[in-house]
Amino acid sequence: MCTLLKDLSILFFLLFSITVFSQNSSISKAKITMISDGIARLTVDPYSPDTSASKQIPGMVLVFSDEFNYEGKPDPANWTFESGFIRNDELQWYQSDNANCSNGRLLIEGRRVNFPNPSYVSGSTNWKTSRQTINYTSSSIHSKGKHSWLFGRFEVRARIDTTKGSWPAIWTLGINDEWPACGEIDLMEFYRKNYVPSVLANVGWGSAIENVAIWDSYSKPLSQLLLQDREWSRKYHIWRMDWTKDSICLYMDDVLYNCTLLKQTLNVNDSNPFLQPHFMLLNLALGSNGGEPANSVFPINYEVDYVRIYQKR
C-alpha cells in the first residue's frame, strides 16, 4: 500500500509539473529527472539560460546577483563599459553596442567590421593609435566603483564560443594598486595556450619586475573536455570561486581546477592583493592570445546567464 501511494504521489507530481511547465514558457526547457531513490527532481537544460531562483547555500547569504533577465543594456547600477583599444595588443575595439541582454542572458558579440580608428595618429608607434582602421569590435564590462567584494563564493554561469580568435574571460582585479600588484583572479579564460585551445583558471600577483606577474595557473585543453562531452562548447557551464582569508579555489562545473594558498601570494612589498576587495570584469577579447580570427565565422558569441556572489552570514 505504501509503495502504491508513493508511486501515485510521484505520478501526481509529474502530471502537475508538466502542466505548470506547459503554461510557463520561461521554464519550459527544465527537465524532470527520476533518480534511484524515487524522488523526482528538476534539472536545468544545459543549452539554455537557467530561470530558476538562486540557490540557498547553508551559512551564506546572497549579497549580489545579476540574472540578466531583462531587455537592453547591462544594468548601469552594476556595470560600466570599457571603450576603445584597452590591453594586450588585442584586435577588438570595445564599445557598448556589442553587449545586450535578452532571453534571460547577457550576450556579448564579437563582430568583424571596418571603420576608421578615431584614435589614429600618423607615425605613432603605440599599438592603440597606430592602427588606421578598426577591424573588430566587442564589449567589456566591469563593476569597478559600483560593487566589490572581499571573500565569498562567486558563481557565473556562461556559454563560451571556442572559435579561433575568441578570448572570453570572467575575472577580478583588486581595488588598490596597479596591475599586477592589485592582484588578478581569472575564474575563467579561454584562449590558445602554446597554440592549444584551453580553459584556464589563474591567480596572479606582483613580482620584482615591473608589469610582470607571478602566476599560479591551471589549463585544461579543450580537446580533453570534448572527449568527455562532445557537446561541451554548446552548453552553459558554471565557473565558481571559493575565496577565503586562506585560499582561492577555482572550479568548473564543481570540478576543482586550481587552489592557491594566500600565504604564497605576496607582492614584493609583502602586501597581499587578495586580502582586499576585488571588482569583476566580463569581456570578450579577440585575437592576441585568442589566435588569429581572420578566417573565423562571425559573430563570435559569449553568453552570461548570471553572476551570483555569496558571503558568510
pLDDT of 239 over the 60 cut: yes
Q: Is the residue at 49 inside a domain?
A: no
> Do residues 149 and 100 share a domain?
yes
Mean of the per-residue pLDDT values for the chain? 90
- What is this structure's pTM? 0.89
> Do residues 287 and 152 share a domain?
yes
pLDDT digits 0-9 by tens, 28-48: 345 544 444 444 446 899 999
> Do residues 76 and 22 share a domain?
no
pLDDT-derived band at 11 (thresholds 50, 70, 90) equals very low
Residue 126, amino acid: N
| Pairing of β 166-174 and β 99-102 | unpaired
Residue 110: what pLDDT?
98
Average pLDDT over residues 6-34: 42
Residue 6: what pLDDT?
45
**217, three cell numbers:** 595557473
Percent of the chain with pLDDT over 90: 86
CA distance 188 to 169: 5
pLDDT-derived band at 236 (thresholds 50, 70, 90) equals very high
> Do residues 90 and 208 share a domain?
yes
> Do residues 126 and 238 share a domain?
yes
Q: Is the residue at 51 inside a domain?
A: no
> Do residues 14 and 80 share a domain?
no
Please give the residue range of the domain that contains residue 115. 60-312
Contact 284, 140 (CB under 8 A): yes
pLDDT digits 0-9 by tens, 204-226: 999 999 999 999 999 999 999 99
pLDDT digits 0-9 by tens, 251-266: 999 999 999 999 999 9
Residue 42: what pLDDT?
62
In a 13 Å sphere around the CA of 267, the CA atoms on its Cβ side amount to 21
Q: Is the residue at 53 inside a domain?
A: no
Q: Is the residue at 196 inside a domain?
A: yes
Residue 43: what pLDDT?
83
pLDDT digits 0-9 by tens, 142-171: 999 999 999 999 999 999 999 999 999 999
Q: Is the residue at 130 inside a domain?
A: yes
Phi, psi of 175 (to 5 degrees): -80, -15
Which CATH number does the domain housing residue 235 bear?
Answer: 2.60.120.200
> Do residues 34 and 123 share a domain?
no
Contact 296, 196 (CB under 8 A): no
The total of structural domains in the chain comes to 2
Residue 273: what pLDDT?
98
pLDDT digits 0-9 by tens, 88-125: 999 999 999 999 999 999 999 999 999 999 999 999 99
Q: Is the residue at 296 inside a domain?
A: yes
Residue 105: what pLDDT?
98
pLDDT of 300 over the 70 cut: yes
pLDDT of 289 over the 50 cut: yes
pLDDT of 4 over the 60 cut: no
Q: Is 23 helix (H, G, I), strand (E, B) or coil?
A: helix
User: Smallest Cα–Cα separation from 294: which of 114, 56, 67, 60?
Assistant: 114
